[in-house]
Amino acid sequence: MKLQIHVWFQNLGIACSIASLFTLFFRLSDFAWVTKSVYYIPVFFIIIFFMSMMIADDIRNIFKKLFWYEKRKIKRPIWQVGIGFIFFLAQISTVMVFSQELTQPQLGGMPLFLVFAFMNSFILTVIYEEIFYRTTIK
């Protein structure tokens, strides 16, 4: 099965989110010894990342069925939200695992890394649309 590059990017973001969130959950639990790092990269993250790359395509397809993507007449808004959410979640979970010191600064009570992740995901969604979905924009 030949994956297109935009599907590969989506699967990569989903796998990164899954691996980061699982690593974070284990780091916060009594099993923190599982998340030992080599060159600041948790070994558990690498193992879960490769495992989640195998199921990322299935997860993406499940969400497409869950939100009736194929039945929609206008598909553009739902994939924009989906791509933006993948970018947003991947950024947040990566910061939580690899750079927890960036979670401390606040902007009016909201963690600053959430604001940056939201802005970045919006910009990345627009760039993603320009690169992969040029023909659908009219």
Full pLDDT tens readout for the chain, 138 residues: 445 888 888 899 999 999 998 988 888 777 777 777 777 778 888 899 999 999 999 998 898 888 888 888 887 778 788 888 999 999 998 888 888 888 888 888 888 889 999 999 999 988 888 887 765 444
Would you call 104 helix, strand, or coil by DSSP?
coil
Residue 135 CB-half CA count within 13 A: 1
Ramachandran area for residue 2 (φ above 0: left; ψ -120 to 50: alpha; else beta): beta
pTM here? 0.79
Instruction: Report the pLDDT value the prediction gives residue 56, as an integer from 0 to 100.
Output: 93
Count of structural domains, the chain: 1
Query: Are the C-beta atoms of 137 and 127 separated by less than 8 Å?
Result: no
Alpha helices in the chain (DSSP H): 5-27, 43-66, 76-98, 112-132
Instruction: Report the pLDDT value the prediction gives residue 3, as an integer from 0 to 100.
Output: 57
Could you list the residue range(s) of the whole structural domain that residue 76 is in?
A: 5-136
Instruction: Report the pLDDT value the prediction gives residue 137, as an integer from 0 to 100.
Output: 45
